[in-house]
Homo-oligomer: A and B are copies of this chain.
Amino acid sequence: MKLGRRDFLQQAAWAGVGATLAGSAAECKAAVFGFGSSTQTAMGMRCKPLDAVRVGVIGLGMRGPGAVQTYSNIPGAQVVALSDLIQERADRQKKWLKEKGKPDAAVYAGSEDAWKKLCESDQVNLVHVTTPWLLHTPMALYAMQCGKHVAVEVPAALTVDECWSLVETSEKTRCHCMMLENCCYGESEMFALMLCRKGVLGDLVHGEGAYLHDLRDLKFNTSGYQDMWRIKYSQAHTGNPYPMHGMGPVCQYMDINRGDRFEYLTSVSSGQFGLTQFAIDKFGKNSAEAKQAYKLGDMNTTVIKTYRGRTIMVQHNTTSPRPYSRINTISGTKGILTDYPLRVALSPKSHDWMKDEELAALKAKYIHPLWDKNGESAKKAGGHGGMDYLLLLRLSYCLQNGLPLDIDVYDTALWSSVVELSERSVLKRGGSIDVPDFTRGGWKTAEPLGIVEVR
């Protein structure tokens, strides 16, 4: 992109900020539509505290309305702008806010470019993206280029190039880019994080996470995903398109990007059986749905090796009939936690799972402070058992206090990169693929995430 004079001046100013404020609070406030080759890291980046979090939500189909409603319960946060391709969806949320007695929200809707106006609005300082997958990165990039922090739904990116563009843009604009991995805030996941941080499980060796969720009905539902984008993705891609719900929490347990990093991965997908069988049963064997080819294998299993010798097994299956699970297993030299249902075994009694009362005592002892303080509000607010609420509560708190985010742009990029890397490995018959180091060596010296601070 060609730089205008205004852009050039802004870029120069940020270079100055970078030089003088390294390690101090960066500002994220102005538009950048072109920038140079600054490589200042955004690891541990602290930005100028926001007096209030003024959110613009893009995408008000499936996940957006829940975000609007959750923000309405978060201290210091306010939804000030709404955008959707479809005017009526935005208007409905505007009306909902009004009925709740909240300040008026601006609406940018009804056209394919309407969301850009939201990003450009002076009223917004956090752009929240809940659109179809393919739009996540373009919208996140534009928001940061407009000087806005961005919170983007999973997966934040679909290709390694997109992941790098998120990293580079966050580094240069000094705007946060956080993937909205709500499962990192689940009650069991935060309990597991505490056990890991407190050394209860010893040195960590192996973790497992998954997204096992039968979505066949929803994928074939014409009033589900906008323009049926999700089943179209299943027609075009294999691998694991959605690895982070199970993998993200395990990365936090293992301090990935903060003392360890992914070295390589290997990925194998089964054939596709589920969608076709479902289509035959629902629409008949001569239906377009039954005759359509789908590339996405029913079960993808990816195994990741880290530099410190740990392994992570990650699975994805949205097309087989089975109960929901994210697996959520973490195993160390002193014990193991697994989930669905939640179980813990600790040395020297690790040959058996703990009895219910022992587990209850352990949960009480190692409850995460975020859950301890806000668990009741979280469960009342709802949203996947309260984790949506805690995710936005914590994001808002960090932005208002100028803290680094729990899931930074490097986590966002790394976790998203598995989308393309797993597909490449599957297409190589499970051949192993090196994982890029988005931190450019920063993982070696970064501080562990630690117990996240409490609000």
Contacts and interface: CB of A to CB of B under 8 A. Distances in A.
Interface of A: 202-203, 205-206, 214, 264-266, 268-274, 277, 297-299, 301, 303-305, 308-311, 313, 317, 320-324, 331-336, 345-348, 350-353, 428-432
Most buried by B among A206, A214, A346, A431: A206
* Copies of the chain in the assembly: 2
Nearest to A275: B333
A273 B202 CA distance: 10
Given A345-B323, A428-B432, A266 B268 contact: yes
B303 A303 contact: yes
A413 to B, nearest CB: 22
| Chain A interface SS verdict (over half) | loop
A429 B425 CA distance: 13
A297 B305 CA distance: 12
Contacts of A214: 350-351
A350 B336 contact: no
Nearest to A280: B333
A348 B305 CA distance: 37
Contacts of A428: 432
B331 A266 contact: no
A5 B381 CA distance: 88
Given A277-B202, A432-B429, A351 B333 contact: no
Given A313-B301, A331-B322, A345-B322, A270 B206 contact: yes
Contact of A205 (B273, B309, B311, B345): B273
